[in-house]
Amino acid sequence: MAEGEDEVYENYAWGVFKAANNPPPAAKRGEETVYDSAGHRRFQHLACCLGILCVILLGGIIGLCVYIANLTRDNKNLADQFGNLKQAYNVSESNNTNLSAEVQELKTQKKNLNQKIQNMTTNWNELSISGAQWSIDSYCLAYDDDKCQPCQSGWVEFQSGCYQSNDPYSWKTWEEAREDCQGQNSDLAVARDSEEKEAIYENSFQYYGYWIGLRVEDGRWKWVDGSDLIESSWIDLPTAVEGHCALSVQGGDTWLVSVNCDETQPWICQKKALSLSV
């Protein structure tokens, strides 16, 4: 390099060095300061906005979580209610099925009862016809004449009643004797007055004693028609003994004797005489 060129280069380098060492003017420094302060504020504003957004986002997330939790709980409650309703429905359906079966069973029972009633009505009608025919045969056709009689053949008429004493060698207890009378549409004889007493007495052959419709009930002598024995002199023992019944006898001081109802004796039946129009 030439000597002149070296001098120019040194002068330029020195100027650059001085420029580098010398601070910028005050105006330029103020602009830089203003620029740095504004940027810092903008950064703060941005950071603040970001923080607010984060808080809002966090609140939204928390709210969403709470909402989801409530929704899940409500869904569980609804599911439980649905399960309970379904169970109640199943129980109701089961009860309805049972009720339907019971109703069907009641209908069947009603049908069976109606059938039984119909059968009983038919049987009753047949028995009524048969009974009427039997009455005609026994009260009318059993005699040689053409007239119907108040009492059947083999029965003794007295006032408004018919009496029959059984075979004196066929003995039964009081209850068995009464069943036999009832089987003949009658009952054991009852003496409501002295005339009926005489009719019973006349049918009490010899001294065997015949069951009549008188026994002790609740400490009192009662006839089978429900009336009380009024004439206490008719019985040999005024004191009524439970389980005792009365026998009608001939040839003693009294015509009624108190004995145990389980003993076996003959008996006298009585029924109402047939009313005949002239």
R_g of the chain, CA atoms, integer Å: 64
Q: What is the CA angle 233-236-237, rounded to 5?
A: 100
Confidence at residue 139, expressed as pLDDT on a 0 to 100 scale: 56
pLDDT (mean) for 132-154: 62
**Taking 60 as the threshold, does the pLDDT of residue 156 lie above it?**
yes
CB 163 within 8 A of CB 155: yes
- Domain 156-272 matching CATH 3.10.100.10: the answer reads yes
Residue 22 carries which side chain, given as an amino acid letter? N
Confidence at residue 42, expressed as pLDDT on a 0 to 100 scale: 80
pLDDT, tens digit (0-9, with 9 covering 90-100), for 14-36: 444 444 455 555 444 555 554 46
Q: How many CB atoms lie within 10 A of CB 246?
A: 28
pLDDT (mean) for 158-183: 87
CB 162 within 8 A of CB 168: no
**Taking 80 as the threshold, does the pLDDT of residue 61 lie above it?**
yes
pLDDT, tens digit (0-9, with 9 covering 90-100), for 80-127: 888 888 888 888 888 888 888 888 888 888 878 877 786 676 655 545
With a pLDDT cut of 70, the percent of the chain lying above it is 71
Which residues, in sequence order, are bridge partners of residue 260? 244
pLDDT (mean) for 176-194: 90
pLDDT, tens digit (0-9, with 9 covering 90-100), for 190-242: 988 878 887 787 766 666 788 999 999 988 899 998 888 887 777 766 678 89
**Taking 80 as the threshold, does the pLDDT of residue 172 lie above it?**
yes
Whole-angstrom Cα distance, residue 196 to residue 160? Answer: 10
CB 213 within 8 A of CB 270: yes
Closest CA to 188 of 170, 199, 205, 175: 175
In Å, what is the CA distance from 32 to each residue of 22, 45, 240? 17, 20, 145
With a pLDDT cut of 90, the percent of the chain lying above it is 13
| DSSP 8-state secondary structure symbol assigned to residue 270 | E
Q: What pTM does this model have? A: 0.48
Confidence at residue 132, expressed as pLDDT on a 0 to 100 scale: 45
